[in-house]
Amino acid sequence: MAWRSSASTNAGLIENLWRNKLITDPRVKEAFLKVDRAHYAPTSPYDDSPKPIGHRATISAPHMHALAVENLLPFILPTTSRSAPRVLDIGSGSGYLTHVLAELVGSEGGLVVGLEHIPELRDLGARNMAKSEEGRRFLETGRARFRLGDGRRGWTEPGEGEGDDGWDAIHVGASAVEVHPELLAQLRSPGRMFIPVDDEDGHDEGQHIWCVDKDEAGKVTRRKLFGVRYVPLTDAPVG
């Protein structure tokens, strides 16, 4: 029912995602309501459809962002054992999902890093987030940060304290040819990754979302969720 979620306002869009059960957790709904998609999508921001943002990249449809957050939620929210969640958003693009994730990780040391391989997109995400007062506060306090790097290799945020390495949750916003071992190595135990991966046989949709879990003992399990169509996770385009 994704195509029925479009609206004329941000509140209407999120309410439609809720009614269509694409958002099911009240905490996710509240986070999305706080982030105006008009600050991130260049045209028709409240349509439930992807939009080009330049540099051969897109901002995903709102229902895809909602599904990503709902699947990652247990590893994004602060808990007694994980008081300061660390989240890596690979292929952060417009910065929209990075902002939503920052709403959920909590204020006491929670961190979301948006990683881009194109400097102009890294800068676009930061500019878009700075359009709102809360977004500016996230940037100023360091709760949200935008970095430049190869998402296939993950990211190590410098300057953190001892033991503050790895990620509780990793979101990948472009299709990978595999679940890259560098990303698995950087996933904490326990941790979860939400990643679109090219199908080996090339059938069906050509790509599927995989939910990759690492438990407390470091055992990795993978679940194939649904077919998608994402831009590829590759080198930055030339020219």
pLDDT in tens for each of the 239 residues of the chain?
A: 445 799 999 999 999 999 999 999 999 999 999 999 999 999 999 999 999 999 889 999 999 999 999 999 999 999 988 889 999 999 999 999 999 999 999 888 899 999 999 999 999 999 999 999 999 999 999 999 999 999 889 999 875 554 568 999 999 987 777 788 899 999 999 999 998 887 776 544 588 888 999 999 999 999 888 777 776 666 655 54
CATH assignment of 52-155+163-228? 3.40.50.150
- pTM of the entire structure? 0.91
Domain boundaries, the chain: 52-155+163-228
Q: Is 60 a catalytic residue?
A: yes
Among 5, 60, 92, 94, the active-site one is 60
- Pairing type for strands 207-214 and 220-228 reads antiparallel
Pair 155, 162: CB distance under 8 Å: no
Sequence-ordered list of residues with C-beta below 8 angstroms from that of 238, at least 6 positions apart, any chain: none
Three-class DSSP category at 224: strand
Pair 165, 156: CB distance under 8 Å: yes
The torsion angle over the Cα atoms of residues 233, 5, 69 and 90, rounded to 10 degrees, is 20
Sheet holding 187-198, edge to edge: 144-148, 111-116, 86-90, 167-172, 187-198, 207-214, 220-228
Q: Residue 197 belongs to what H/E stretch?
A: strand 187-198
